[in-house]
Amino acid sequence: MDNRSEVRAFLTSRRARITPQQAGLPAHTGNRRVKGLRREEVALLAGVSAEYYARLERGSLSGVSETVLDALSRALQLDEAERAHLDDLARTASTTRRPQRRRAPQAVRPSLQHLLDAMTEAPAFIRNGRLDILATNRLGRALYAPVLAGTARPVNLARYEFLSPGAADFLPELDRQAAGAVALLRTEAGRDPYNRDLTDLIGELSTRSEKFRTLWAAHDVRLHQTGVKHFRHPAVGELLLPFEALPIPTDPGLTLTALSAEPGTPSHDGLKLLASWAATLDQEGQEGGQDGPGGQDGPGGPPAVPTTGV
């Protein structure tokens, strides 16, 4: 992706969403020809000349100081994720352009898989910045069985959300989750702009999904740290599961996501039922002489998901 185009689109989109009133500027009478702030208004708020800001918005962030980035962040009312994205864009602009490259397949260390497996009461998985699921524990495999049932490898959450016909059934809040996935991919593209595999995924989704193209054009970014995920699991029904997404410092780019349920809630009962179902399927697989799905070699093929009951 072209850095200058990315900078231009990002700054323009952030400027367009802020009204003069929101920025604390005097209200203007008459018609405004632009949505949101004018360039000269952003320059005023940031304490730079209108000419200098116009150059920045044309995509020239090379060599911009931290002080100016701070001022831009305040003027455009950027949140933590947006400020980090601006820093990433500025860093890329100030480094020598490198050719895009494919990364060696990321492997999850055995100790991390052991950690996942030790989490017996919480679904958990490890993903990379491209939203590939690289490893799961048993309960994670059971929870994400509809996602893991696809034939494409590596299993990718964004590809499932935008291209799978069954995604809306499994994810009742699909629009919200899909928007979050796009924002995460946009964040990763700013952090790692020369990742060929990431660019290929974005190109695939842009070609095949109008919804993805629309969301991608918004240039929204986000940090994915905590929240609640809503599932409609084919075996146990509705589940509302709080989650924590924890970056793994020793393995840059990898994130461990663990989900839970509030004790005493229907989702807590559903999670226990899901654990029983997963244990039954594992037992059936062992009796059949088959290795269980997942483990150190990645998610693997998921068990068949019943359409009714367990």
pLDDT tens, residue by residue, 21-57: 999 988 665 677 777 999 999 999 999 999 999 999 9
pLDDT score recorded for residue 290: 46
| Dist CA 42 CA 20 (whole Å) | 10
Choose between 154 and 290: higher pLDDT: 154
Contact criterion met (CB below 8 Å) for 2 and 88: no
pLDDT score recorded for residue 273: 95
Residue 96 has pLDDT above 50, yes or no: yes
With cut-offs at 50, 70 and 90, classify the pLDDT of residue 280.
confident
pLDDT tens, residue by residue, 73-82: 999 999 999 9
pLDDT score recorded for residue 305: 38
pLDDT score recorded for residue 303: 43
Q: Domain 3-93 belongs to what topology? A: 434 Repressor (Amino-terminal Domain) (1.10.260)
| Dist CA 70 CA 76 (whole Å) | 10
Angle at 175 between CA 173 and CA 178, to 5 degrees: 105
pLDDT tens, residue by residue, 2-13: 899 999 999 999
pLDDT tens, residue by residue, 187-219: 999 999 999 999 999 999 999 999 999 999 999
Please give the helix or strand (H or E) that residue 132 lies within, else none.
none
Six-digit token string for 249: 């410092």
Six-digit token string for 152: 């494409």
Which pairs from 94-102 meet CB under 8 Å and 24+ separation? 94/61, 94/62, 94/63, 94/64, 97/3, 98/194, 99/194, 100/194, 100/195, 100/196, 100/199, 101/194, 101/195, 101/196, 102/196, 102/197
With cut-offs at 50, 70 and 90, classify the pLDDT of residue 15.
very high
Six-digit token string for 166: 């069954």
Proportion of the chain above pLDDT 90, given as a percent: 76
86, with CB counted inside 10 A (0-12, 13-18, 19+), is: buried
Lowest mean pLDDT, pick from 96-105, 159-168, 292-301: 292-301
298, with CB counted inside 10 A (0-12, 13-18, 19+), is: buried
Report cis status (omega within 30 of 0) of the bond before 252.
no
Residue 121 has pLDDT above 70, yes or no: yes
pLDDT score recorded for residue 38: 93
With cut-offs at 50, 70 and 90, classify the pLDDT of residue 100.
low
| Dist CA 66 CA 123 (whole Å) | 41
With cut-offs at 50, 70 and 90, classify the pLDDT of residue 299.
very low
pLDDT score recorded for residue 104: 67
| Dist CA 81 CA 232 (whole Å) | 29
Average pLDDT, stretch 143-158?
92
Residue with tokens 């924002």: 183
Contact criterion met (CB below 8 Å) for 193 and 1: yes
Six-digit token string for 142: 């059971």
The second-level CATH assignment, the architecture, of 110-297 is 2-Layer Sandwich (3.30)
Average pLDDT, stretch 290-295?
42
Spell out the domain ranges in the chain. Answer: 3-93, 110-297
pLDDT score recorded for residue 147: 96
